Amino acid sequence: MSLPREDVDPNGLQEFSVVFTDRAVNHMSQKFVDAMQEFYGLLRDTYNADAAVVVPGSGSFGMESVARQFMEGQPTLVVRDGFFSYRWSQIIEMGKLTDHEVVSAVATDDSATPGFAPPAVDQVIDAIKKQGSKVVAAAHVETASGIVLTDEYIKALADAVHEQGGLFVLDCIASGALWVDMKELGVDVLISAPQKGWSGWPGMGYVMLNERALARLEETESSSFSMDLKKWHTVSETYRAGKHMYHATMPTDAMLHNLDVMREAKERGLDKIMRQQVELGERVRVGLAERGYKSVAAEGWEAPSVVVVYTDDPQEQSGAKFKAGDLQVASGVPLQVGEPEGFSTFRVGLFGLDKWDDVEGTVQRLFDGIDKARKA
């Protein structure tokens, strides 16, 4: 049988469904069903999860699917280390899901450019006990500040909310290659996405669940149709069983591409690329400090995947200046934690297999570009 597009699904059926054309892989095709069994399995194995769910959209869709499934009407506490953990508050407030408490990062000195650290763990634990939190959410790596939570900090918060019968939710979208073992640290819900740590294409969020979260999933109903986490979990389990299911259109070709890069990461070795991520982050932080850029993340809390530094140059803050060095960095954003007036930063992301596989070259290219831009 000849197909109009043999390269799309070589052994597939002729496409006359009402969902796709000949230029995309059908979600019912055997090629896609087989791939999804491996896809979900890789996610479960990487994070030591009991279930893995794909929510079409983006990492933010994954966050909102979790909020609308587990937070509605529940006492919720958010650890806010910057603008992208402030996103939890935006989701909760726009959805009118629940009243929630916020415990924010703190400045470690009184200067105009202070380092910021997460709130003291004892302060957060006290707030959890006082509120009787049923959900606690935090970012593993905060993209606005470059703060990373330590394993000990994560475990302490997870233990505290478990004592209240609640769930601990960890946003790992910006973690890069810092893989989190959910069972070891007590994480109930872990959120990731393909375009940073997995070197993939955007278009979906990944939500990993442990047994405690799965039990709560069965007891709750989402307030969203397209981001219904329980329904998307049913979809993932259907594919896991070797069958197919439709809830809403899945980004099939992007998922197949992302499976390819997940395989590549696994073949290179997840532990190896984690070490490369750490080395890259350390070297970039040293190089920026040598050039007079001060870290927003305080000592002991510096993430290796996202580096955020102060600048008083508006062209650096916007990222525009660095284009003269052929670099695309990210502009600084507010932290939403009561930072000083005039807070101004730029952000450097250190994501991807190609950067990790060539730490020396990545560092060289970055600082050649920065030095060129500063002289322009």
pLDDT at 107 > cutoff 80: yes
For the chain, how long is the longest CA-to-CA vector?
A: 73
Count of domains observed in the chain: 2
Among 247, 267, 287, the domain-final residue is: 267
**Is 10 part of any domain?**
no
pLDDT at 290 > cutoff 80: yes
Residues 237 and 342 reside in one and the same domain:
no
Residues 338 and 360 reside in one and the same domain:
yes
Residues 262 and 304 reside in one and the same domain:
no
Q: In the chain, pLDDT over 90 holds for what percent of residues?
A: 98
Residues 325 and 360 reside in one and the same domain:
yes
Report the candidate in 131, 59, 60, 130 with the shortest Cα–Cα distance to residue 98: 131
Among 238, 267, 296, the domain-final residue is: 267
pLDDT at 6 > cutoff 90: no
Range of the domain at 209: 30-267
Q: How far apart are CA 337 and CA 104, in angstroms?
A: 6
> 347-367 burial, b for 16+ CB within 10 Å, e for fewer?
bbbbbbbebbeebeebbeebb
> What mean pLDDT is reported for the chain?
98
Q: What angle do CA 132, 88, 215 make, to 5 degrees?
A: 55
Contact yes or no for 348/331 (Cβ under 8 A)? no
Contact yes or no for 43/255 (Cβ under 8 A)? no
**Is 303 part of any domain?**
yes
Residues 234 and 284 reside in one and the same domain:
no
Residue 204 pairs in a beta bridge with: 56
Residues 189 and 309 reside in one and the same domain:
no
Residues 136 and 283 reside in one and the same domain:
no
**Is 194 part of any domain?**
yes
Q: How confident is the model at residue 1 (pLDDT cuts 50, 70, 90)?
A: low
Q: What is the pTM of this model?
A: 0.97
Which stretches does DSSP call E strand in 81-201? 100-104, 106-107, 116-117, 135-139, 141-142, 147-148, 167-171, 189-192
Report the candidate in 131, 133, 144, 201 with the shortest Cα–Cα distance to residue 171: 144
Residues 295 and 256 reside in one and the same domain:
no
CA distances from 320 to 294, 295, 327, 370 (A): 19, 20, 9, 12
Residues 287 and 144 reside in one and the same domain:
no
pLDDT at 4 > cutoff 70: yes
